[in-house]
Structure formats: C-alpha cells, structure tokens
C-alpha cells in the first residue's frame, strides 16, 4: 500500500506547489510561514499520539532558528540546504540529550518541564547581548545551491522549498506512525501500563518521539527564520509554544495533512483579525479557539477518520 | 489519511482564492499603515498616546490651515491622508508578516511604526526587499543602521544613545558628586543597552565613580521590594533607571514609600511619560529625560518653535484631557517629516503622488522642524535622524497642582549624538570626539 | 547577618503575595483538574477592580476613615469572584470536565486571551493607582532598612488565608466533602454529593484568591494591561514545585521561590531570571510530581 501513499504525497506536492503560481505575494509568505510552523506542530502531534503534549516546542523552533542564523552570520553559510541540515543535526543532538530525561514524565509535568526548558533558553538568549539579546538577529536572504534569487523569485523558491520539506517529512512521519513503533505510541496513549506488560519500552518510544519532534521543530525554525529574516528569543517564549499546541489540538492526532491545514487556518485568522480588529484581536482569537475546541474536540483530522470508521 | 492530502490542499487553495481580493491604491489619497502598541505594557506608555497624537495631527493636516506655516497646506501636498492601524503586540515574527500584509494586501503608501527595537531590526530587510517606504518613528536601538544598511527605511527619531550621554553630561553640569552609583533596568535589550551606555558615559565623565550593583529585574515584574532592599543596603549616591511604563511607576511608588529617593539621587533616562499618571506621587528632585526635547521640556523651551509646539500641546490637551508626553512628540516629528518629504517629492515630480523611490530620494538627508526641535536626517547616509535632547529636574508646583521641570539643560543634537560613520558605543568609549556642545 | 535577615524578609514578602495566588491555582487544579491559565487574568481583574473600588471609596469621602479602603480591597476581590467564578465555571468550564488536561489548559488560554481584551474594553489602557492603602500602615525599620508596614500586612493576610483554607478542608464537614470529590468525583456523586456545587464553590474560591492577590498588589504597583501574563508562569512554578493540588505544597513552593529569588537579587543579580526554573527543575528531578503530590493509583 505504500506506493499509494507516495502517489498522494506527489499529488499533495503538485497541488501545494501550484500555490506558487496562484497566490499573491503576501499569501505565499503567509503560507510558507504557516507550513514552517506546521512542521513544529507535526512534532507535537507525534508526541500527542503517545499521550504527552510539549508546551515548550518553541525550544527547538528557537534553537533551529538561532543555529541557522549564527551559521549564516559567523561562517557566511547562505545555502538553505546546508543551513537546514546543520540546524536539524543540532536539534537532533539536543533532542537526544533531553529526550531520555523527559521520557519518564507525563501529563502536566511533561508539559511544564518542556515549558521550563524553553523558558530557560528564552532567558539565556535575552541576556546574551553578544548575539543581539532580546532584540535578536537578522539573517540574510538564502541561496539555493549557488542560485541567489530576489523578490518574487526568492519567495517562490522558498515556498517550493518548504512545500517539498513538508511533503517529505509528512510522508516520513506517516510511515513512522504506521510502523510498529508508531503503533506502540498509540497504544501508550490508551494505556501505558498495558504496553509495558506486553514487553515494549514506553520510555524508549517516548524518547524517540521527542527526538523526532525536536528535529521537526528545528526544521520549522530554520525555514521560519530564513523566510522572516529575523530571529529573537520570542521564538522560545511560552506563547509561541502555546500556539503550536493549539494548532496540534486543532489538527488532532490522526491526520498529517490536517496539521498543515490547521496551521494555515490559524495564520489566516490571526492575520485578518489583527488588521480588522486591532484593538480586540486577542478577543477574536480567543473566541475562535473556543469555537474550535467546542466543535472539533478531536481536531480537524477526526472529521475524516470518523467517516472512515476510526481508522487512522 | 490519503484523502485528507487532497482535501487539505484543496481547502488551502479555496481559502486563498477568497483572500486574493485587495484594496486598490487611489491617486488622491495617501495611505499610511501605522503600527504601534495597542495592547500589552507599552500600549499605555507609548502606543496609545502616540496613536492619539497621530490621529489628532492627521485630522489637523487633512483640515488644512490648522497648523502654523510651513505645515498649513492641506493633507500631504493636497493628498488626503488615510491610515490603517495594526497592533504591535505579538513579537517581531508577527510584525514581519503584518508588514508584508500592509504593503502587499492593503497597499499602503508608507508604513510608519515600531516602538520595539526588536521589530525595528526585523522589519527593515523586508522593507528593502519589498521596496516599501518605511519610517521607524520611536524605537531606540542604534543597531538598526549600525548593523545594516537600508535604502527604503528611515528613522525620524534619534537613537537611544543620546539619552544616557545627556544624563551623564547633566550630572556634570549640575556639579553633582558621584562617588558611586547603581542601576535598576528592565531585563531586555533596551534596559541592558541603556545601562551599558550610561556606565560607558560615566566612565568618561566620572572616571572614579564606583558601580555598586546592576539589577535587571524581569520585564513587567511589578514588584521591586527585593531590588529596593538591595539598593537601600548598597547606599549608592545615584540610582540609574531606564524603566518605563508600569515598571517605572511601580518602582517609583515602592521606592519612595521606602525612602530610596531620600538616600540616593534617582536619574531616569526615559521617565517623563509617567508624570501625568503619578502627578505628586512622582518625587521631587529626580533627574529626568524624555528621549528628546519632548513633553514638559519642549513646553518649557519657548523659542521659535513655540507656536508649533503650543498649537499641538493645546490641541492634544483639549482632545484628551492630559498633556502630551514623549510618545506623541515622536509621532508628530515623524508625521511632519513625512509631510515635508511628500511635498518635496511632489515639488520635484510635478505634483503627482510620489512613488516609493521618489519618497526615498526626498527623505534622504531631510531637515525639518517639529515640536521636539530641529530634526536632521544626518546619520547612516541620510537615513537616521539626530535631534536635540534635554534633561531636567522634577518639581511639584502645589499651587498649580502640576509637575514642572526645572533646571532644564538643553543639548544640541551634535553634542549628544555621534557623528556620521562612528558607532555609538565607540564614540562614547573614545570620549565623544567631535562633539559640538554650545 | 544583616544580609541574611534582609534576604529572609524580602523573600517572605514576595512569598506571601505569591502564596495567595498559587493557593487559588492549586485549589482549582485539585478539585476541577484544570490548570487555569486565566488565573492570571483573574489576578489582573482583581487588581483593576480594587483600584476602581478604592478610588471610588476615596471619591465619596473615604478620607475621613482611610482604613476603610482595606475593606474596599477585599470587597473588590469578592465581587470579582462572585461575578466571574460562576460565569466561567457554569458558563464554560463545566463542559470540559473529564477531558484531556492539556485541552483544558488551552480552553483557559482562550479565556485568558478574551479576558485580556475585555479588561482593555472596560478599563482602557491607562494605568490605575491606589497608593493610599500602601502607605497607611507606616514604616517598619529593620536594621539599616525601611520596609513598608503594608508588606507585612500582606504576609499576615497570606497566613490567614492559608490557615483558613487548610482548616476548611481538614476540619469541617464541607471540607471533607471537597476532599472526597478531589479523591474520586464519581464515587462522591453516587454517595449523594452534589459535585457540581463543589466544583462551582472551588472555582469561585480559586477566583477569589487570584483576585485577592491582585487586589492586595494593586496599591504598590500601577495597574496596567499585561499584568496577568507575568504572574501566571511563576505561580505555575510554585504549584508544580509544591505538588499540584496541595495546600502546604503551595506554601512551601512560594517560600522556596520567594527566598531563592531574594537571595539571587542580593548575591547574584544575573541569575534572577533563571532561579525559579532552577528550583523547579531540581525539585522535579527528585520528586517528579512535586513535593507534596499524592500518589495516584495507576490504571491497568
């Protein structure tokens, strides 16, 4: 059945990539940012499948973004492939350090510990005036294997790049979710003890999920900073992480594409409420959140899987 | 899952088709995108007063003849001024997105905004990428044009370096003895930079003064009991703070209740904007800056700008029932500068609405008068303004029920701002070479 | 020696205020199993309400008896609690009982966002001040330092509130019922306990404590927008350290945070930002569910 997955991935790529022709500039940028954030949220979904939610995924979003920026500013690397690879490796290493440590925590304690970690990074970066302190740093425009586009071309190239990454990682995560390890994760969500009795190591599974999420966070952060041109410690602030969690909840843990749709919806809602209700955008966003939580308690993805009889 | 792939993509496309419509530019109006804080801490201190001041001035400009010459023409050279407002709260990431939306979706003719230094660093590269004429009206960090070079971006207010140099100069000119000093600044870039500028300036002017302690309470901490204990114990001759807004108000209330202002001289680099709220709770004898000749210092100055200053002062007081502090002054100097630039560009292109490039050409190196003094776009190849500054001492006038600023010292722009091509931090460290003080 | 005393006094003052707020948070979590981010908003609304009410008190001639302003402070917190407590609990939160903890955090996050703007719509962005109650109790001289009498009044209030909550829970009929609900809501319901009422009561009490924390802080600060966001993270840390749902835990947590923070400001100002997380991380390393958490039976 795997070839069908690849076929649909190819179709998803073509359809999303078509956006580079149809979308106006501002919307293409908004979509690129939404997809980048969607990658981070996909990491949260990977953990959510195991029943834990990280409230500190901004940690990796921020590490990825700063790694790319520092690599660009200190060593003059501007190639987007090199930057992406480098910062995801850094996030992989950090994830492998914290993953096993956090794998024993559950529920609100996992959420709060991950939050604390990202807040410590936030605090540290705010203090480091050498690398811009709380004002952050700028990063120049990226190059693509030696090609240095400008204007609309640059936006298009970036957009296609993020679409490609989204489709590739989305497909890989789907394969992982359907693998033995992925199914153990899902079983853990229902009953951890039972999984242990069956002889699987829940800790190991949790550590893997966390590490994958770390890499996804780094990918998202790298693409976001390259698109934005600026990074600041706010990337690790708890409200940033809170948004990621919101997208993950909005998407639900069942469907991969739902994550990216959810991310796009949030960006669009936020952007318009910002402009049309400058004084009450938080109010509108809050009401939107509540409506979503009330009407779609299991997320967007549940709409489809319910129809398919709960199969994920 | 497989189906959602397509659904997801399809709904995505459908979504954006609905969003694609956008405003069209009009030839007889000039549309400004104003970005400032409408929520969060900075709303009360900077965002809302600035926006109020901006609205007021735009109305007066659109009416025509409400202002003294040379600002008595209608709108910008006859163009009616419109504006859209965006909340600056939410971080630099959001602001970059909003900036793109303003330029590409709302098609504004100029963007005028940003109180936060982080936003001022994040936005300029995008402004250049989109070739969108942009004015930074308030933020303080010198890094904007020291770390980068931008064609379409202008800052119409001096950067924050002059605030603390002026304070140190003021201490010297008042013959204030400073054997030791301490600092309490908010723990983020503006607070850290202010303290760094102040200590560097003090090193030049008071080389023997000892630093007792440097406290950096969290931004928005609200409670300073522990910090005040530490300052009381250390007994520095002087306590420096660049705090603003609620953080400054809270600090002053708690510090005066515990007698810190009796034990140490308080010097505040940006503190004028809390006077309307604190009134007589603001202690007497504080050395106070307003990040420019703004608020009370401008009111007390008189001179040839008196008519312009008084016009704006009275209109603001009549409209909002409170006197204008630093934020509206900086908004005004940006709008007066923009008006001057648009009209100059129109004089050059035969009266058409100017393009972004024409605006850039007109703005570069521009000089104009504002209630806060004579503004010159003198630094960063004509992109960064310098302006005069003033420091004064607070004194409560019980009869009038008003706070006054006494012993005000005015500093020429070139006395407290570095010359072209010199980094602010280097300039201080070298002992202010080439400073032109009267 | 004098330094040590200063640290302890400063730490106690900070802990007193923090304890009141954290106690409300831990109570709501203990009973409703909801970690309430909107607790920060209730704190801020309490501050605004007390500023308005105390202002009104002096406006109608309260100068003749300024001590009445303390009653106004407390009344403000009561008002906030009786209006917003039932509104939020009955109107919204009750639909989410038994749902995922994290989902509930998001619900309260939404409420937090909404209340931030609602406050702005009601009180505007201009700051409110009520310094009268702050200076009314005079100064206290400890060694070379002056403290404000009000600071010690807040400590006293914290002790009173803490004892009241503890005694209610452990020495009264209603307290026993609440403890039963905390232990097993379903079982209590079958035993004839009106669980809905307990939830409502607990949430309103929690809202009162948040608002009281805000009301007591109002006289020493300027009440401005954005107040709530700063409180909630440190209150979270306190209840996580102490163990969610534990009254003594909130007290110990507040003390640990207060004193370590004071020590850091006096001895190592650079570390102040991290000290709270540092303490939290150390505690969780040895006690993964906090100091006073009760072990729960695991579901097989």
pLDDT number for residue A144: 93
pLDDT number for residue C278: 84
Contact C117 A286 (CB under 8 A): yes
Q: 3-class secondary structure for A143-181?
A: EECCECCCHHHHHHHHHHHHHHHHHHHHHHHHHHHHCHH
Residue B225 has its nearest CB partner, among C3, C13, C272, at: C13
Minimal CA separation from C222 to chain B, in Å: 5
Residues 6 or more apart whose CB falls under 8 angstroms from that of B420 comprise: B378, B379, B380, B381
Is pLDDT above 80 for A23? yes
Residue B3: pLDDT band with limits 50, 70, 90: very low
What are the backbone dihedrals phi and psi of residue A181, each rounded to the nearest 5 degrees, phi first?
Answer: -60, -45
Number of domains in chain A: 1
pLDDT number for residue B50: 96
pLDDT number for residue C1: 54
Tokens of B8: 């997801």
Buried residues in B143-153 as b, exposed as e (16+ CB within 10 A): bbbbeeebbbb
Please confirm whether the linkage preceding B70 is cis (ω < 30° from 0).
Answer: yes
pLDDT number for residue B409: 94
pLDDT number for residue C39: 95
Single pTM value for the model: 0.88
Residue pLDDT, tens place only, B321-353: 999 999 999 999 999 999 999 999 999 998 899
Q: Does A260 touch chain B (CB under 8 A)?
A: yes
Contact C277 A297 (CB under 8 A): no
Residue C292: inside a domain: no
The third-level CATH classification (topology) of the domain covering B161-301+388-430 is Rossmann fold (3.40.50)
How far is CA C129 from each of CA B118, C56, C219, rounded to the nearest angstrom? 30, 12, 7
How far is CA C104 from each of CA A63, C58, C100, rounded to the nearest angstrom? 28, 41, 6
A196 or B9: whose pLDDT is higher? A196
Percent of chain A with pLDDT over 90: 51
For residue C127, give its domain range. 2-286
Residue B97 has its nearest CB partner, among A9, A15, A33, at: A33
Minimal CA separation from B142 to chain A, in Å: 11
Number of domains in chain C: 1
Minimal CA separation from C32 to chain B, in Å: 29
Q: 3-class secondary structure for A90-159?
A: HHHHHHHHHHHHHCCCCHHHHHHHHHHHHHHHHHHHHHCHHHCHHHCEECCCCEECCECCCHHHHHHHHH
Residue C162: inside a domain: yes
CB contacts of C217 in chain B (<8 Å) are 222-223
ipTM of the complex: 0.87
Task: Name all chains with 3 or more CB-CB pairs below 8 Å to chain B.
Answer: A, C
pLDDT number for residue B25: 57
Write down the H helix ranges in chain C. 2-32, 39-59, 68-91, 101-123, 132-135, 149-171, 173-183, 185-190, 195-217, 227-242, 247-267, 272-286
pLDDT number for residue C163: 95
Residue pLDDT, tens place only, B146-182: 988 999 999 999 999 999 999 999 999 999 999 999 9
Q: Which of B37, B224, B227, B257 would best serve as a mutation to test chain C binding (most C beta carbons within 10 A)? A: B257
Average pLDDT, chain A: 89
Of B155, B240, B227, B125, the C-alpha closest to B193 is B240
Tokens of C127: 């700051």
Residue pLDDT, tens place only, C3-30: 898 999 999 999 999 999 999 999 999 8
* Measured distance CA(A164)–CA(B78) in Å, rounded: 50
| Count of B-C CB contacts under 8 Å | 128
Tokens of C158: 């914290």
A279 or A113: whose pLDDT is higher? A113
Query: Is the torsion defined by CA of B96, B100, B105, B109 positive or negative?
Result: positive
Tokens of C42: 């209730």
Q: Which CATH superfamily is domain B29-159+303-386 in?
A: Response regulator (3.40.50.2300)
Average pLDDT estimate for B199-205: 95
Minimal CA separation from B70 to chain C, in Å: 34
CB contacts of C51 in chain B (<8 Å) are none
Q: Is A75 exposed, middle or buried (0-12, 13-18, 19+ CB in 10 A)?
A: exposed
Q: Does A279 touch chain C (CB under 8 A)?
A: yes
Minimal CA separation from B144 to chain A, in Å: 10
Residue C297: inside a domain: no
Residue C41: inside a domain: yes
Kindly report the number of other CB atoms within 10 A of residue A191's CB atom.
14
Residue B92 has its nearest CB partner, among A4, A12, A234, at: A234
**Structural domain boundaries in chain B:** 29-159+303-386, 161-301+388-430
**For C96, which residue in chain A has the nearest alpha carbon?**
A294
Q: Which of C101, C105, C121, C225 would best serve as a mutation to test chain A binding (most A beta carbons within 10 A)? A: C105
Minimal CA separation from C84 to chain A, in Å: 17
Average pLDDT estimate for B184-201: 93
Q: 3-class secondary structure for chain B?
A: CHHHHHHHHHHHHHHHHHHCCCCCCCCCEEEEEEEECCCCHHHHHHHHHHHHHHHHHHHHHHHCCCCCCCCCCCCECCEEEEEEEEECCCHHHHHHHHHHHHHHHCCCCEEEECCCHHHHHHHHHHHHHHCCCEEECCCCCCHHHHHCCCCCEEECCCCCHHHHHHHHHHHHHCCCCCCEEEEECCCCHHHHHHHHHHHHHHHHHCCCCEEEEEECCCCCCCCCHHHHHHHHHHCCCEEEECCCHHHHHHHHHHHHHCCHHHHCEEEECCHHHHHHHHHHHCCCCCEEECCCCCCHHHHHHCHHHHHHHHHHHHHHHHHHCCCCCHHHHHHHHHHHHHHHHHHHHHHHHCCCCCCHHHHHHHHCCCEEEECCEEEEEEECCCCEEECCEEEEEEEEECCCCEEEEEEEEEECHHHHCCCCCCCHHHHHHCCCCCCCCC
Is pLDDT above 60 for B367? yes
Residues 6 or more apart whose CB falls under 8 angstroms from that of A261 comprise: A251, A300, B4, B7, B8, B11, B12
Q: What is the DSSP letter of C296?
A: P
CB contacts of A108 in chain C (<8 Å) are 35, 101-102, 105, 240, 244
**For C7, which residue in chain B has the nearest alpha carbon?**
B226
Residue C145: inside a domain: yes
For residue A177, give its domain range. 2-311
Contact C95 A294 (CB under 8 A): yes
Q: Which residues of chain C have pLDDT under 70?
A: 1, 294-300
Q: Does C222 touch chain B (CB under 8 A)?
A: yes
Q: What is the DSSP letter of C223?
A: B
pLDDT number for residue B2: 39
Tokens of A20: 């580079």
Q: B389-397 and B134-136 as β-strands: parallel, antiparallel, unpaired?
A: unpaired
Is pLDDT above 50 for B298? yes
Contact A294 C106 (CB under 8 A): no
Residue B90: pLDDT band with limits 50, 70, 90: confident
Q: B153-155 and B134-136 as β-strands: parallel, antiparallel, unpaired?
A: parallel
Residue C291: inside a domain: no
């Amino acid at each position: 059945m795997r070839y069908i997955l690849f076929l649909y991935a190819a179709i998803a790529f073509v359809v999303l990539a078509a956006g580079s022709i149809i979308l106006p500039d501002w919307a293409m940028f908004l979509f690129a940012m939404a997809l980048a954030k969607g990658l981070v949220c996909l990491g949260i979904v990977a953990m959510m499948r195991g029943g834990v939610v990280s409230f500190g995924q901004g940690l990796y979003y921020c590490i990825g973004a700063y790694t790319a920026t520092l690599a660009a500013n200190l060593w003059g690397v501007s190639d987007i492939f090199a930057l992406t690879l480098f910062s995801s490796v850094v996030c992989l290493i950090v994830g492998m350090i914290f993953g096993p440590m956090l794998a024993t925590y559950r529920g609100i304690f996992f959420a709060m510990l991950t939050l604390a970690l990202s807040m410590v990074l936030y605090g540290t970066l705010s203090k480091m005036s050498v690398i811009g302190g709380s004002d952050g740093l700028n990063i120049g425009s990226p190059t693509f294997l030696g090609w240095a586009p400008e204007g609309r071309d640059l936006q298009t190239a970036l957009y296609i790049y993020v679409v490609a990454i989204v489709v590739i990682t989305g497909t890989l995560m789907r394969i992982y979710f359907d693998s033995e390890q992925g199914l153990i994760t899902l079983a853990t969500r229902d009953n951890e003890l039972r999984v242990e009795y069956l002889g699987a190591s829940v800790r190991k599974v949790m550590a893997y999920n966390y590490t994958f999420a770390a890499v996804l966070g780094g990918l998202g952060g790298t693409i976001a900073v390259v698109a934005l041109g600026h990074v600041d410690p706010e990337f690790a602030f708890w409200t940033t992480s809170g948004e990621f969690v919101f997208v993950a909840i909005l998407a639900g843990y069942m469907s991969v594409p739902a994550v990216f749709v959810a991310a796009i919806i949030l960006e669009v809602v936020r952007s318009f409420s910002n402009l049309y209700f400058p004084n009450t955008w938080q109010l509108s966003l809050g009401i939107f959140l509540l409506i979503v939580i009330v009407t779609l308690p299991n997320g967007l993805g549940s709409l489809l899987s319910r129809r398919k009889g709960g199969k994920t | 899952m497989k189906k959602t792939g397509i659904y997801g993509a399809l709904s995505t496309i459908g979504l954006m088709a609905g969003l694609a419509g956008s405003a069209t530019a009009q030839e007889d109006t000039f549309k400004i995108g104003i970005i400032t804080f409408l929520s969060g801490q900075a709303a009360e201190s900077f965002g809302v007063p600035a926006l109020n001041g901006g609205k007021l001035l735009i109305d007066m400009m659109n009416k025509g003849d409400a202002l003294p010459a040379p600002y008595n023409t209608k709108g910008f050279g006859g163009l009616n001024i419109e504006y859209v407002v965006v909340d600056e709260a939410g971080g630099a990431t959001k602001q970059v997105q909003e900036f793109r939306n303003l330029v590409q979706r709302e098609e504004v003719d100029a963007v005028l905004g940003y109180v936060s230094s982080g936003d001022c660093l994040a936005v300029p590269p995008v402004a250049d990428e989109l070739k969108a004429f942009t004015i930074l009206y308030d933020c303080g960090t010198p890094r904007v044009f020291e770390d980068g070079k931008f064609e379409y971006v202008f800052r119409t207010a001096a950067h924050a370096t002059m605030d603390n140099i002026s304070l140190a100069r003021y201490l010297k000119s008042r013959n204030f003895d400073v054997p030791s000093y301490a600092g309490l600044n908010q723990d983020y870039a503006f607070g850290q930079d202010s303290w760094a500028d102040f200590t560097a300036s003090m090193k030049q002017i008071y080389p023997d003064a000892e630093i007792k302690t440097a406290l950096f309470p969290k931004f928005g901490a609200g409670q300073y009991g522990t910090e005040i204990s530490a300052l009381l114990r250390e007994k520095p001759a002087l306590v420096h703070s660049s705090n603003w807004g609620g953080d400054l108000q809270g600090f002053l209330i708690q510090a005066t209740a515990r007698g810190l202002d009796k034990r140490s001289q308080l010097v505040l680099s940006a503190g004028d904007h809390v006077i309307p709220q604190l009134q007589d709770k603001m202690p007497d004898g504080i050395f106070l800056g307003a990040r420019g000749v703004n608020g009370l210092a401008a009111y007390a100055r008189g001179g040839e700008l008196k008519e312009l200053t008084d016009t704006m002062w009275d209109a603001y007081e009549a409209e909002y029932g409170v006197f204008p502090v630093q934020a509206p002054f900086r908004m005004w100097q940006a709008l007066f500068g923009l008006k001057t630039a648009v009209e100059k560009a129109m004089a050059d292109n035969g009266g058409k609405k100017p393009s972004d490039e024409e605006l850039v050409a007109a703005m570069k190196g521009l000089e104009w008068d504002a209630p806060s003094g004579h503004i010159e776009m003198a630094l960063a190849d004509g992109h960064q303004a310098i302006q005069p500054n003033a420091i004064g001492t607070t004194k409560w006038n019980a009869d009038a029920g008003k706070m006054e600023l006494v012993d005000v010292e005015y500093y020429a722009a070139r006395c407290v701002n570095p010359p072209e091509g010199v980094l602010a931090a280097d300039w201080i460290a070298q002992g202010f070479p080439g400073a032109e003080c009267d | 020696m004098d330094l040590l005393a200063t640290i302890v006094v400063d730490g106690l003052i900070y802990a007193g205020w923090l304890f009141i707020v954290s106690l409300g948070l831990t109570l709501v979590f203990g009973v409703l199993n909801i970690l309430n981010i909107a607790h920060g908003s209730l704190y801020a609304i309490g501050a605004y309400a007390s500023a308005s009410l105390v202002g009104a008190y002096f406006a109608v001639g309260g100068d003749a008896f300024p001590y009445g302003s303390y009653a106004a402070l407390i009344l403000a917190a009561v008002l906030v609690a009786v209006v917003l407590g039932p509104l939020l609990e009955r109107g919204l939160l009750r639909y989410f009982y038994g749902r995922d903890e994290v989902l509930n955090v998001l619900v309260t996050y939404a409420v937090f966002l909404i209340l931030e703007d609602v406050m702005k719509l009601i009180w505007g962005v201009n700051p409110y001040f009520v310094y009268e109650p702050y200076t009314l109790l005079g100064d206290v001289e400890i060694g070379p330092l002056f403290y404000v009498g009000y600071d010690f009044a807040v400590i006293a209030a914290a002790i009173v509130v803490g004892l009241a909550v503890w005694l209610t829970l452990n020495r009264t009929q209603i307290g026993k019922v609440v403890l039963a609900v905390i232990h097993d809501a379903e079982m209590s319901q079958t035993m004839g306990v009106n669980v809905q009422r307990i939830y409502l009561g607990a949430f309103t009490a929690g809202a009162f404590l948040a608002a009281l924390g805000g009301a007591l802080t109002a006289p020493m600060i300027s009440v401005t927008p954005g107040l709530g966001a700063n409180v909630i993270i440190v209150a979270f840390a306190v209840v996580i350290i102490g163990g969610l749902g534990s009254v003594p835990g909130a007290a110990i947590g507040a003390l640990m945070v207060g004193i370590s923070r004071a020590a850091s400001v006096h001895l190592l100002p650079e570390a102040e930002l991290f000290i709270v997380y540092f303490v939290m991380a150390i505690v969780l390393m040895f006690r993964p569910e906090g100091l006073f958490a009760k072990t729960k039976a695991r579901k097989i």
